[in-house]
Amino acid sequence: MKKMKRQPTHPGNIIKKDYLEPLSLTITEMATTLGVSRKTLSKILNERGTVTPDMALRLSRAFDTTPDLWLNLQKNYDLWQAEHSSKEWLRVKPLAKQLLHSNI
Amino acid sequence: MKKMKRQPTHPGNIIKKDYLEPLSLTITEMATTLGVSRKTLSKILNERGTVTPDMALRLSRAFDTTPDLWLNLQKNYDLWQAEHSSKEWLRVKPLAKQLLHSNI
DNA sequence: ACATACGTAACCTATATGGTTACAATCAGC
DNA sequence: GCTGATTGTAACCATATAGGTTACGTATGT
């Protein structure tokens, strides 16, 4: 398991650099293709929006990928944010190892 | 990539069957350990709640796992739900293959 | 100058998360 | 049978998010 050292790439970046730009597609066009508003797509591309499961399915249809590709990117991004935005979770005390890893 | 045929296991099930029950921990105790309300944990265990990134971090601390373990379970569950709750995303037209997979 | 594309604010609606409190139901032990 | 512990959940609250429409200022290309 890899521990993320720096902020993971936001899915919006991949969409823009690996799809829209190479394909010369405008955001307006792409939003129409995806069946969402320009605002929704624009927010994702500018890292202010989230790839929801529904959006992942739409992207997977349009780009012939798995929906997991997009959800994994979003998941890693969200996890990194949660890890760094609050440290509250660090106060959770691990259950005793002998309790967890006993093979009785 | 595996296509899910049936509803993926909800993370709450795993928590209950693989952790709480074997360890004889009550929900009330576990909620306290995790630093969340009993309601929040109970909802997850009964498949009416979501493992958020923050909750995944708490679970990973308590159970000595990766947070990804829990987020992946939740992601697969959510994806399956989205796939089956609405079929809207199926109306997205795939971009032409020659457009997508040209190596120019 | 004009049309196109873009980011985003403002506004609205629907939904989700998580906390507290309270209540009814279940179950174990005495 | 009584008691206490545990649980699911409703009711209520505050906050946040997703997504839509409309409109505006700005930038860019022709």
Residue B6 lies in a domain: no
What pLDDT score was predicted for residue B37? 96
Using a 7 Å cut-off to protein CB atoms, list the covered nucleotides of chain D. Answer: 5-11, 17-23
In this predicted structure, the answer to whether residue A104 has a pLDDT above a threshold of 70 is: no
Number of domains in chain A: 1
- Is the pLDDT score of A4 beyond 70? no
Q: Which two tokens stand for residue A8?
A: 């993971």
Q: Whole-angstrom Cα distance, residue B74 to residue A71?
A: 11
Q: Which of B81, B85, B57 is nearest to B71 (CA)?
A: B57
Give the A window 4-63 contacts with B, CB below 8 Å. 23, 33-35, 52-54, 56-58, 61-63
**Structural domain includes residue A88:** yes
pLDDT attached to residue A51: 98
Task: Assess if residue B1 is contained within a domain.
Answer: no
Quick one: average pLDDT of A34-46? 97
Which nucleotide across the nucleic acid strands is nearest to A78, CA versus C1'?
D17
pLDDT of A1 reads 61
Which nucleotide's C1' atom has the smallest distance to the CA of A37? D20
Domain CATH for B26: 1.10.260.40
- Which ranges of chain B have pLDDT less than 70? 1-2, 4, 103-104
Is residue B33 in a domain? yes
Residue A3 located in a structural domain: no
Among A11, A39, A60, A33, smallest CA distance to B82 is for A60
| Residue B61 resides in a domain | yes
**Residues A29, B48: Cα–Cα separation, whole Å:** 37
Mean pLDDT across A45-50: 96
**Is the pLDDT score of A30 beyond 80?**
yes
B52 assigned to some structural domain: yes
Domain range for A25 is: 11-100
On strand C, nucleotides with any atom < 7 Å from a protein CB are 4-10, 16-22
Closest CB from B23, B53, B97 relative to A78: B53
Mean pLDDT, rounded, for A96-103: 71
Within a domain: A5: no
Average predicted confidence (pLDDT) for chain B = 92
- ipTM > 0.90, yes or no: no
